Structure 1
Amino acid sequence: MTDIAAQRAKSGRRPGQSGTRERILAVARTRFAGSGFDKTSVRSVAADAGVDSALVHHYFGTKRELFVAAIELPIDPGIILQPVLAADTNVLGEALITAVMNVWESDQGEAVVAAFRSLIVEGDTTLIGSFLMEVVLREIAARVDEPPGSAPERFTLVATQMSGLLLTRYILKLEPIASMPQARVIASIGPTLQRYLTGPLPAMN
């Protein structure tokens, strides 16, 4: 859960409503897994949970905060993305891998990795895809959509690299990548992400 969502829950919880909050989270997780981030609305989650949408906002704030709480991430992606959004387009790859690795290597990193490991074990891979494609990467879509319509392909390529690094370094812990200095990993992967984001794409046959 994000710090923001946790604060909302702590300050806004009403007596006897903890079960309602957990029901909303369970419904949201199912909705996000089945329909993705874009096609899931706070209103639809509220309807499935049998509550008013205002109560969902009361507990979780925005739809993105609800999503983060549903997949049990301990940090708000908006905070992670601030340096990425501020970076020049020609260094987006390095900024992205640096921002993400700073989280993975932080005190909260173990909890983040555990959340993704749980999603993989439980088979909720759609939620991982939604997080990467619709929560993290969509913020920079307009900056890399060249030629027009290419952003989804670019983001999928980025996702292969990011998920591969998460798997090999933090879950499988394959050497030498598992113990490689962070700066070396960034120097190795950053240019590849940059090529995926802004480089030429192969011509369609």
Structure 2
Amino acid sequence: MATSTGDSKGRRRGRRPGGSDTRAQLLEAARIEFASRGFEGATVRMIADRAGVDPAMVNHWFGGKDALFTAALDLPVDPAALLTSVLPGDPEKLGERIVATFLKVWDATGGGPLAAIIQSVASHEEAARMMREFITVVLVGRVVSAVAPDRPQLRAALCGSQLFGMGMVRYVLKLEPLASADHATLVAAIAPNLQRYLTGDL
């Protein structure tokens, strides 16, 4: 794997032979850069330099920095698509849309990737840092900032605790009856509290 030396001649331009290798190199480089510099500090150019490819390959394979970040976390989600699906509509129904979308995404994978992430962040600080940034910067923070009347950081943290707490109980502990409850039941039970975190009085 080529490393960044400040000499642009050392970096290959364009797509590596064997496209899957380019994608894997970018993911490996992204995990290192995001873990050491954080989401804001790591740039597309830094990641591409570490992977030894042209920065355009990030857009080619992932569509941008946000999607590369979630791919590096091994999350089966597209932040842009999720924001597009939950933000439009009545702000007072946002909690319902978020819980329903969360369940739809994770149930489609059997909860396996989420369970792996939760277990990983419990023992690896780098994974924990990346997940914190996913919650506060990449996804939940953006949703909250669109509707929050005040204290957006606290609201984002509370929303994260609600969603990932639900994920822990449903997919890791598999505590019944929550583990097998239908979506309508969980939305009705959890969304009102999430909505208070989003727009209500704290």
Distance 2:180 2:158 in 1: 25
Q: Does 1:170 align with 2:155?
A: no
1:185 counterpart = 2:176: no
How far off is 1:194 after superposition?
0.6
In structure 2, stretches of 5+ residues that fail to align are 1-13
Q: Partner residue of 1:97?
A: 99
Answer yes or no: is the 8 Å Cα contact 1:89–1:143 preserved in 2: no
Task: Say if 2:112 and 2:171, in contact at 8 Å, map to a contact too.
Answer: no
Provide the TM-score with structure 2 as the length reference. 0.79
AA partner of residue 79 (structure 1): A
Contact 2:15 2:53 in 1 (8 A): no
Corresponding residue for residue 138 of structure 1: 141
Query: In the superposition, relative to structure 1, how do residues 122 and 43 fare at CA in structure 2: closer, same or farther (>3 Å)?
Result: farther
1:74 corresponds in structure 2 to 76
Q: How many Å apart are 1:51 and its aligned residue?
A: 3.3
Alignment partners' CA distance in 2, 1:155 and 1:121: 20
Tell me, in whole angstroms, the C-alpha distance in 1 between the residues paired with 2:120 and 2:73.
8
For residues 6-25 of structure 1, the aligned pairs below 5 Å read 14-16=16-18, 18-25=20-27
Instruction: Measure the CA separation in 2 of the matches of 1:141 and 1:116.
Output: 22
How far apart, in 1, do the equivalents of 2:17 and 2:123 lie? 32
Task: Say which is worse superposed, 97-106 or 175-184, in terms of deviation.
Answer: 175-184
> Between Structure 1 and Structure 2, how many residues are aligned?
187
- Equivalent AA in structure 1 for residue 148 of structure 2: D
Shift of 1:144: 2.7
Name the CA shift for 1:142/1:31 in 2 (closer, same or farther; >3 Å). Answer: same
Q: Which moved more, 1:33-42 or 1:17-26?
A: 17-26
Question: 2:154 matched to which residue of 1?
Answer: 153
Letter of the 1:38 counterpart: E
Distance change (3 Å), C-alpha of 1:28 and 1:144: same
Which has the bigger relative contact order, CA under 8 A and spacing at least 6?
Answer: 1
SS at match of 2:178: coil
Structure 1 stretch 180-189 or stretch 80-89: which is displaced more?
Answer: 80-89
Cα RMSD after superposing both structures? 2.4
Q: Distance in 1 between matches of 2:19 and 2:86?
A: 38
One-letter code of the match for 2:173? L
For 2:41, the equivalent position in structure 1 comes to 39
Is 1:46–1:53's contact at 8 Å kept on the other side of the alignment? Answer: yes
Paired with 1:85 and 1:72, the residues of 2 have a C-alpha distance of 24
For residues 176 and 16 of structure 1, do their structure 2 counterparts lie closer, same or farther at Cα, with a shift above 3 Å needed?
closer
Structure 2 CA distance for aligned equivalents of residues 99 and 33 of structure 1:
27
Q: Could you tell me how far apart the structure 2 residues matched to 1:60 and 1:13 are?
A: 13
Q: 1:26: how far off?
A: 1.1
**Preserved contact between residue 15 and residue 22 of structure 2 (Cα < 8 Å):** no
Question: Per the alignment, in what secondary structure is the counterpart of residue 178 of structure 1?
Answer: helix
Partner of 1:29 in structure 2? 31
| TM-score normalised over the length of structure 1 | 0.78
Distance 1:46 1:18, change over 3 A: same
Give ranges in structure 1 of 5+ residues lacking alignment: 1-11
